Amino acid sequence: MTPKPSPFAGPLEIALRSALSHLGSLDHQPAAASATLSQLRARLAKPLNDSGISPEAVITDLVRDVQGGLLGSAGGRFFAWAIGGSVPAALAADWLTSAWDQNAALFACGPSAAIAEEVAGEWLKDLLGLPTSASFAFVSGCQMAHVCCLAAARHALLLERGWNVERQGLCGAPPLRILASNRHGSVERAVRLLGLGEGNVLDLGLDRNERVTAGVLRTALETAPGTATVVLLQAGDLNTGAFDDYREVIPIAREHGAWVHVDGAFGLWAGASPHFRTLLDGVADADSWATDGHKWLNVPYDSGYAFVARPAVHRAAMSHRAPYLVHDQDARDQIDWNPEWSRRARGFATYAAIRQLGRAGIADMIDRCCRHAATIVEGIGQLPGTEVLWRPQINQGLVRFLDPRAGATDADHDRFTGAVIQSVLEDGDVFFAGTTWRGRRAMRVSVLNWQSSDRDAHAAIAAIGRCLTAQQAKVATSPATSF
């Protein structure tokens, strides 16, 4: 008897061909979107169909309709935000994760998924130089890793003050504040989700190297001694890649009974490179750490990791039991550590990325990204009419474009910087994005993709040079401040 053809074969084969064609075109297709909002809506907003459509037709239409609306973020010429690509084994494992469709809530629902995650979690701690005794959770991203870690912090700090937050909630609970170093907006959202209140996040003053100093931290801690406090430190600021001095400040937080949480969305990965590891000296003494796989490890979205130094605290904040659940005495049930119930088996892609690259491959990828960031920033800095605001310490740098007209003001330079970035996006060869840093508009240089090469770095400098020259010519004839 001939076996029945699989209903999956057709759509999966189209998906494979399309994926290979997309990945193969990243080097020569525009890195920016070329389709407009209304074009994409016109193509994708089809009437809700009454009858089904063949899976082959659905996937063929999808591939056609998204054309021009996909950024080149999977490729090596994408230097915006903090976006990594996907190494091939991680992408393939991610596809299989969907095909296997395991519910990675419990060992009982997906034994291999549970073990792959358990193993990958141990490897991550090893690579990042975190304590082997720490617990971990695989979550959707760094923001949810903050939620997980800060839930553990909330549990511990309030329990020390006689309050069981999981049972009693927050109404009437002792106050809790977050003293934050250079903080990313995801911290605010995590704090909001946990009911801690954005108003209780207090920003600490930073020094010129974007670090919290011992004096500033001590003064803040002494302002309301005895208050439940999280000290939030930075490992790789979004704009500058700055790191706090953990050796200096963690002991001060400890003296005051604070919980120390580290946002290392990408910067914690510097710990995987012998060349950059010293930036993280002392970070292992914190209470919790949040990072991402979808940034510098080059695992597909969505992949974040939370680590907590005291597993019992982590588990108390997350675990749940229900009569219908099945638990294995000896296995690791993800529901004990994760905020979700049903969830994707995220461990497979991380497991595959780490195996493909190995310890040396990860270190090499980190080093290459840092080298390319330096090349791009130096190259742009040599173009006339540019200002380097931040030379990369790791993989992040900041540059600014100066309005060439006599008497141009800071506001003109801001506008001119925005115009050059816009023109780079229209040029399409490479992709960058802007930011406001210390009150001035700047372009961020952020390199996290394993595929970025020397050629891509030089293509970036050339594209910026082209667009800058064109914008300089454009404004040269108009009066200052009217640009």
Ligand X SMILES: Cc1ncc(COP(=O)(O)O)c(C=O)c1O
Determine contact, residues 430/468, Cβ cutoff 8 Å.
Answer: no
CA atoms within 13 A on the CB side of 177: 16
For residue 395, the minimal CB distance to ligand X (Å) is 11
Question: By the 8 A CB rule, do 404 and 385 touch?
Answer: yes
Rounded to whole angstroms, the Cα distance separating 362 from 434 reads: 28
Angle at 177 between CA 172 and CA 178, to 5 degrees: 145
Answer for the pair 73, 85: CB distance below 8 angstroms, yes or no. Answer: yes
Instruction: Report the nearest approach of ligand X to the CB of residue 2 (Å).
Output: 47
Least separation in angstroms between CB 141 and ligand X:
3
* 423-452 footprint of ligand X as x/- string (CB under 6 A): ------------------------------
The residue among 294 and 405 lying less far from ligand X, judged by its C-beta, is: 294
- Minimum gap (Å) between residue 199 Cβ and ligand X: 20
Residue 184 vs 400, nearer CB to ligand X: 184
Q: Which positions from 291 to 310 touch ligand X by CB under 6 A, shown as an x/- string?
A: -x-----------x------
Per-residue binding letters, 20-59, with ligand X (x by CB under 6 A): ----------------------------------------
Nearest distance in Å: CB 38, ligand X: 28
d(CA 434, CA 441): 7
Question: Which DSSP category does 279 fall into?
Answer: G
- Residue 360 φ then ψ, to 5°: -70, -35
Among 155, 184, 372, 413, interactor with ligand X by CB under 6 A: 184
Rank residues 287 and 292 by Cβ distance to ligand X and give the closer one. Answer: 292
Q: Which of 117, 188, 263, 414 binds ligand X (CB under 6 A)?
A: 263
Nearer to ligand X, 30 or 236 (CB): 236
- Please report, for residues 138, 185, 205, 224, 422, the alpha-carbon distance to residue 191 in angstroms, rounded to integers and kept in the order given: 19, 10, 20, 20, 34
Residues 391, 210 contacting (CB under 8 angstroms): no
Residue number, 177 or 183, with CB nearest to ligand X: 183
Smallest distance, Å, CB 243 to ligand X? 11
Stretch in the footprint of ligand X (CB under 6 A) among 24-32, 140-148, 363-371, 380-388: 140-148
Whichever of 121 and 141 has its CB closer to ligand X, that residue is 141
Distance CA 147, CA 339 (A): 8
Residue with smaller CB distance to ligand X, 141 or 300: 141
Quick check: bond before 403 cis, omega within 30? no
Q: How far is the CB of 74 from ligand X (least distance, A)?
A: 16
Site string for ligand X, 210-249 (x = CB under 6 A): ----------------------------x-----------
Beta strands in 54-184 (DSSP E): 135-139, 176-180
Q: How far is the CB of 107 from ligand X (least distance, A)?
A: 26
Closest distance to ligand X from the beta carbon of 449 (Å) = 14
Residues 77-136 contacting ligand X, CB under 6 A: 82
Choose the binding region for ligand X from 138-146, 152-160, 345-353, 474-482 (rule: CB under 6 A): 138-146
Pseudo-torsion of CA 150, 155, 158, 164, nearest 10°?
A: 150
CA angle 296, 433, 35 (to 5 degrees): 105
Tell me how many residues contact ligand X (CB under 6 A): 11
The 3-state DSSP class for residue 234 equals strand
In this structure, which amino acid lies at residue 206?
A: L
Among residues 29, 86, 143, 472, the one that binds ligand X under rule CB under 6 A: 143
**Token pair in block for residue 161:** 């003050």
Instruction: Report the nearest approach of ligand X to the CB of residue 307 (Å).
Output: 15
**CA 74/CA 470 separation, integer angstroms:** 28
The pair of structure tokens assigned to 151 is: 């839930």
Question: Applying CB under 6 A, which residues contact ligand X?
Answer: 82, 141-143, 184, 186, 238, 263, 265, 292, 304
